Structure 1
Amino acid sequence: MSLIKTIPELEAWLDTMGRHGRTLGFVPTMGCLHAGHLSLIKAARAQNDLVVASVFVNPTQFAPGEDYENYPRDIGRDYALAREAGADAVFNPRAAEIYIPGASTAVEVTGEITKKLCGASRPTHFKGVTTVVNILFNLIRPDRAYFGQKDAQQALIVKKMVRDLHMPVEVVVCPIVREADGLAMSSRNVYLSPEERRQAVCLNEALGKAEEYAASGAASSTSAARLTEIMESHINSRSLAVIDYVRVLDSETLADIAAIAPGQKALAAVAVKFGKTRLVDNRVLPVGRR
C-alpha cells in the first residue's frame, strides 16, 4: 500500500497501477478514521479493483472560529487503519498542494438543497465541500465514490453536483455505522466530555421515537410538525443538549413537507451541540404503517 503526498506522486501511482480495464473506488475523508470510514473503504474494496482513500482536512469547509486548527490529525494511525480495511493507497496532500497559490475557482451547488439544515448554520460549508470533492475527482478520476449516510445532506449535494456537471462518477451512499449505544460514529465524538458523551445518544433515541411514531398508524403519524415535536421534546430533556435544527423533509430534495405522503420517503434530520461539539444524525422514516 502507498502513502501519497503530492499530485505528481498520485499521477505516477495511477499510471503504474494501470487503470485500463480496472475500476477505482474512492473514499474521501478528513482523517481521524473510525468504523464508519472503514465501512466505506470495505465497500469500495468489495466493488472495485483499486481503492484510494484521501485524508485531507479541507480548510475551505471550515468557517472562522470552527475547529480547523484543532481537528484531530494522525496520518500514521489513519494509514494503518485504511490499509487494514483494504485501501491500496492513501492520498494525504498538504493544503497548498490542493489549493495552488492564487487559486480563486470554486464549485457551488445552489438552491434549497444547500440552504437548509447544515447549510443554514454553516453557509460557506458546502461550497468548500463541493470544491474540494471536484478537485479530488479530477485528480483521482474514480469510477465510484463512497459517502456515509450520516452526512445525508452532503451526500445529496455531491450527487446533485455529479448529475448537474455530467461527472462520470457513481456516488455510493453507505449506511450509518453506530456505537454500541446508538451514537453515530463521528470524528468529533472524541471532543465530548464523559457526561456529554452519555447524553449524546439522545440524537439516535429521538430519531427512533420519530420512526416508531411514523409507523404507528396514529392519525397524526405522518405530520412533519408532530414528528418534529416528538424529537425536540426528547432532545430537550437532556440538560446539555442545545438544538441547532430538527427537521422532517423530503429525503431526496430536502423540500419542506407538511406530512409524509403515500409512497414518499422523508428524512428526519437533527443537529445538536454539546458544549462546542456539534453532532448530526438522521434517519429515513418508513412509508408503511403497522
Structure 2
Amino acid sequence: MMEIFETKKQLQTHLADLRQAGKKIALVPTMGALHEGHLSLISEAQKVADIVVCSIFVNPTQFNDPKDLEKYPRPIENDIKLLTSAKCDILFMPTVAEMYPADETPWHINLGALDSIWEGEKRPGHFQGVTQVVYKLFMLTLPDVACFGQKDFQQIMVIQKMIDIKQLPVTIHICPIVRSPEGLALSSRNMRLSEADKIKALALYRSLNTIKKGFPQTAIAQLEENAEQVLADEGEITLEYLAICESTTLSPATTIEPGKSYVALLVAWVAGVRLIDNMILS
C-alpha cells in the first residue's frame, strides 16, 4: 500500500525509520500530470533501490509566466491511481507553503554557462528554480539515488552540477527516453497534438537518428545540416535549436575530441506545440 505524506515532518520521520532498517532510498521528483514516461522512472528506481519516493509538486519558482503556473495540469486523483498501480512506495505531496515558508532564504547557485544556454536562455531563472526545489527535496528525503528522465538532458546536467557544488551524496540515475512505437518522445504536451501532428513530429526522431548514424565519422557541421534538412523536408516544423554538444557543459561542439562524450539537442515547434528531444551520441 502506497503511503502518502503532505508534510516534511511526517515524511522525514517515516524515511528515518526505513533508513535505520538499512533500506536504500530512490527519489523520483515530478510535477504530476504523470504519463508512461514518469512511470518508467518509477520502474527504473525500483531496480536500483528498496524504497521509491515520488514527489508531486508544481514548483512556482521555476515558472517564468504566472499564467503557465496557473494552467499547469493537476490531475492528482489519476496520478495517485497510476503510482499505486506502479507499486510506488511513498508519495510526497506538499503545499507551496510547506515547501516555501515565509522566512525563505533567497536562493542562487552559480551554474555557469548551463544557466544561460539552450533552455537557460529561453527561460531565464528556470534552472535556479529547479535547483532550489530539487535541493529541498534532496535535503528532505536524503536519497541514495535520484532518477531523472533523459528527455530533460540539460536539467540533469544542471542538477549534477548542483550536487557537485553542494557535495551531496546522491547518485543521479539517468533513465532512457520513453518513445511511442514510432519514435515520438513521450510528453504531456503530446496531448495537444492531433494524430496527423504526431506523425509530423516523428521528423524530430528521424532528424536525431540522422546525426546518430553519421556520428562520429561525419563532420559536426555537416551532421547538423543533414539533420536540419530532415525537418525542412517534412515542412511545417519550426526549428528553435539543434546542436551537437559536449555532454557535461552542453557547449556546442565543433570537433570531436577523444575521451569526451556528446549529445544532440533538439527543440522544434509542431502545430504550436514546443517539443524537446535529444539523443546521446557517445
> Shorter-chain TM-score: what band?
over 0.9
Cα 1:227–1:65 shift into 2, 3 Å: farther
Cα 1:166–1:264 shift into 2, 3 Å: closer
2:82 is aligned with 1:81: yes
Equivalent pairs: percent with the same residue?
38
Q: CA deviation at 1:237?
A: 3.0
Q: Within 5 Å, give how 1:119-198 maps onto structure 2.
A: 119-198=120-199
Deviations along 1:78-115, one digit per CA (max 9) or x if unpaired, are 12222222311111112221111242421434212222
Structure 2 gap segments, 5+ residues each: none
Q: CA deviation at 1:18?
A: 5.0
Q: CA deviation at 1:26?
A: 0.5
CA distance in 1, matches of 2:67, 2:262: 30
Q: CA deviation at 1:271?
A: 0.8
Q: CA deviation at 1:276?
A: 4.0
CA distance in 2, matches of 1:142, 1:232: 40
Is the 1:109–1:157 contact (alpha carbons within 8 Å) kept by the matching residues of 2? no
Q: CA deviation at 1:60?
A: 1.3
Q: Within 5 Å, give how 1:1-290 maps onto structure 2.
A: 1-17=2-18, 19-64=20-65, 67-214=68-215, 217=217, 221=218, 223-286=219-282
Q: CA deviation at 1:269?
A: 0.3
Is the 2:35–2:187 contact (alpha carbons within 8 Å) kept by the matching residues of 1? yes
CA distance in 2, matches of 1:264, 1:141: 31
Cα 1:113–1:192 shift into 2, 3 Å: same
CA distance in 2, matches of 1:85, 1:183: 23
More displaced, 181-190 or 15-24? 15-24
Partner AA of 1:123 in structure 2: P
Structure 1 gap segments, 5+ residues each: none
Is the 2:32–2:74 contact (alpha carbons within 8 Å) kept by the matching residues of 1? yes
Deviations along 1:31-68, one digit per CA (max 9) or x if unpaired, are 12122211211121122121100111111111116632
Partner AA of 1:250 in structure 2: E
Cα 1:121–1:174 shift into 2, 3 Å: same
CA distance in 2, matches of 1:107, 1:20: 36
Is the 1:109–1:160 contact (alpha carbons within 8 Å) kept by the matching residues of 2? no
Cα 1:276–1:4 shift into 2, 3 Å: farther
Cα 1:59–1:193 shift into 2, 3 Å: farther
Cα 1:178–1:67 shift into 2, 3 Å: same
More displaced, 239-248 or 171-180? 239-248
The structure richer in helix per residue is 2
Tell me which stretches of 4 or more aligned residues in structure 1 moved more than 4 Å: none
Q: CA deviation at 1:71?
A: 1.8
Partner AA of 1:246 in structure 2: L
Is the 1:3–1:92 contact (alpha carbons within 8 Å) kept by the matching residues of 2? yes
- Given the two structures, how large is their TM-score scaled by the length of structure 2? 0.92
